[in-house]
Amino acid sequence: MNEIKENLENQEELSDDMKVLDELTSTEYKWGFVTEIESETAPKGLNEDVIRLISSKKNEPEWMTEWRLKAFRYWLKMEEPHWPNVNYPPIDYQDISYYSAPKQKPKLNSLDEVDPELLKTFEKLGIPLNEQKLLTGVAVDAVFDSVSVTTTFKETLKEKGVIFCSISEAIQEHPEIVKKYLGSVVPYTDNYFAALNSAVFSDGSFVFIPKGVRCPMELSTYFRINAQETGQFERTLIIAEESSYVSYLEGCTAPIRDNNQLHAAVVELVALDDAEIKYSTVQNWYPGDKDGKGGIYNFVTKRGACRGKNSKISWTQVETGSAITWKYPSCILQGDNSIGEFYSVAVTNNMQQADTGTKMIHLGKNTRSTIISKGISAGRSNNSYRGLVKIGKNAEGARNFTQCDSMLMSDQCGAHTFPYIEVENESAKVEHEATTSKVGADQIFYLNQRGIATEDTVNMIVNGFCKEVFNELPMEFAVEAQKLLAISLEGSVG
């Protein structure tokens, strides 16, 4: 009782600050739109002028503008796909503004001014205080000088010849590399959302690891806070030259809210001979309220090309957010003996819908791929795995192993598996295993009988279910991901 009373008092104290915060935020948008509409925000709608505006705002070279325009013209002829197992009202693409200057977050003086609900979530996730401040836009004290940390790491990278910057910067500074690889894995003709992204992409990351270099740190561990600024149409390009290695972390376990409902990112990876790229994602976009209102549509095209022999690309994803997820991180295994991996945990709760999986396209000889997919459905949500394993006719000795496990947490949710297998070479070996289980009353009782409370037993069972995927995540990400799962599924059983 005392605790509740205390909370109430705190909230009363906070309410004044909250008013200020509310005003700050709404003011920003109001002025942003009214006074500086010409320079800061493009008018709603999409046409060639808007694309030229985006390109000129970013001071892009002519070839880039042309590429965007070609993508746009192609997009106009395409139709939005409706084959995924998800439902949403029609999107009015002319009702979206495709360019706005980087938003200024309101500067706050202390964490006391932040939404207490958000702070509670941070606490549960165990996010360090300084990161909390950065995430919520609180001015950071001198102890944690993020600029100097960033600079130190940038220097280390530079010594090794690693380029790690925004894609806009790369277009300016390293046009020859960008020109060579951009759209080479995901051409703008690939699909509706990829075409749209190519026409209007705002920003994203660029990574180049030169020949023989093992990137000395997991990229974006220290930068992920900055990455929150990335917009609606993110574009990422990662190139690993011969015998190089990089591990890239994307996303953040902190819940991310955004006023842009539609998100259509494109990620392209290129691995040359003997190179390895490990790409880990933890995605926690706002899923909407309990009825699914206001959640983000996350329509992403992620693809990696194992161009060189003995190259390897590994995707690991933990997806807990978004109202709708449409995402198939894929590998094109061109080089002989190349390896593709996909490890995925997709959690849906309440009204969330996810249609996610992978494509493994085996072209080279003795190429190997592994797919481990764990789908967890709770509430009234719908969770689909969709995967393609294709063995080309020259892919002598190709092998695939697929394991798709679904776990149901309620009687009203759905789990679906759509595996597609196309084999054109008789020497190939393709294995597919699938299971569906319900968190069993017998499992819960067994753990209860050893003194563990029901909420904890469910976490334990779910984390055990996802273990093979969590094992693939870098350590600190894995710990956060476990906590994130617990929060996402809070109260969904018992």
Partner 1 sequence: MLVIKNLHANIEGKEILKGIDLEIKAGEVHAIMGPNGSGKSTLANVLAGNEGYEVTGGEIIFEGKNLLELDPEDRARDGVFLAFQYPVEIPGVSNATFLKTAINEVRKYHNLPELTPKEFLELMKEKSKILGMDEALISRSVNVGFSGGEKKRNEIFQLLMLNPKLALLDETDSGLDIDALKIVSNGVNIFKAKDKAVLVVTHYQRLLNYIQPDFVHVLYKGKIIKSGGKELALELEDKGYDWIKPELVESETV
Instruction: Using CB under 8 A, list all residues that contact partner 1.
Output: 440-443, 445-454, 456, 460-461, 463-468
Residue 480 Cβ vs partner 1, minimum distance, rounded to whole Å: 18
Residue 391 Cβ vs partner 1, minimum distance, rounded to whole Å: 30
Which CB atom, from 249 or from 461, has the smaller least distance to partner 1?
A: 461
Which CB atom, from 172 or from 443, has the smaller least distance to partner 1?
A: 443
Distance (Å, whole) CA 315 – CA 470: 12
Distance (Å, whole) CA 356 – CA 373: 9
Which CB atom, from 39 or from 449, has the smaller least distance to partner 1?
A: 449
Which CB atom, from 219 or from 461, has the smaller least distance to partner 1?
A: 461
Residue 122 Cβ vs partner 1, minimum distance, rounded to whole Å: 24
Which CB atom, from 143 or from 475, has the smaller least distance to partner 1?
A: 475
Residue 454 Cβ vs partner 1, minimum distance, rounded to whole Å: 7
Which CB atom, from 101 or from 453, has the smaller least distance to partner 1?
A: 453
Residue 374 Cβ vs partner 1, minimum distance, rounded to whole Å: 10
Residue 462 Cβ vs partner 1, minimum distance, rounded to whole Å: 9
Which CB atom, from 423 or from 439, has the smaller least distance to partner 1?
A: 439
Residue 265 Cα distances to 72, 139, 234, 237, angstroms: 15, 30, 5, 11
Which CB atom, from 351 or from 466, has the smaller least distance to partner 1?
A: 466
Residue 461 Cβ vs partner 1, minimum distance, rounded to whole Å: 6
Which CB atom, from 117 or from 442, has the smaller least distance to partner 1?
A: 442
Which CB atom, from 201 or from 465, has the smaller least distance to partner 1?
A: 465
Residue 250 Cα distances to 220, 224, 317, 470, 474, angstroms: 7, 7, 9, 15, 12
- Name the nearest CA neighbour of 346 among 291, 314, 386: 386
Which CB atom, from 466 or from 489, has the smaller least distance to partner 1?
A: 466
* CB contact at 8 A, 201 and 171: no
**Phi, psi values for residue 488, rounded to 5°:** -60, -30
Q: Which amino acid is at 364?
A: G
Which CB atom, from 52 or from 483, has the smaller least distance to partner 1?
A: 483
- Name the nearest CA neighbour of 29 among 221, 214, 260, 255: 260
Residue 457 Cβ vs partner 1, minimum distance, rounded to whole Å: 8
Residue 147 Cβ vs partner 1, minimum distance, rounded to whole Å: 38
Residue 177 Cβ vs partner 1, minimum distance, rounded to whole Å: 42
- Per residue, the 3-state secondary structure of the chain, as one string, reads CHHHHHHHHHHHHHHHHHHHHHHHHHHHHHHHHHCCHHHHECCCCCCHHHHHHHHHHCCCCHHHHHHHHHHHHHHHCCCCCCCCCCCCCCCCHHHCCCCECCCCCCCECCHHHCCHHHHHHHHHHCCCHHHHHHHHCECCCCCCCHHHHHHHHHHHHHHHCCEEEEHHHHHHHCHHHHHHHCCCCCCCCCCHHHHHHHHHCCECEEEEECCCCECCCCECCCCHHHHCCCCCCEEEEEEECCCCEEEEEEECCCCECCCCCEECCEEEEEECCCCEEEEEEEECECCCCCCCCCCCEEEEEEEEEECCCCCEEEEEEEECCCCEEEECCEEEECCCCCEEEEEEEEEECCCCEEEEEEEEEECCCCCEEEEEEEEEECCCCEEEEEEEEEECCCCCCCEEEEEEEEEECCCCCEEEEEEEEEECCCCCEEEEEEEEEECCHHHHHHHHCCCCCHHHHHHHHHHHHCHHHHCCCCHHHHHHHHHHHHHHCCCCCC
Residue 453 Cβ vs partner 1, minimum distance, rounded to whole Å: 5
Residue 463 Cβ vs partner 1, minimum distance, rounded to whole Å: 7
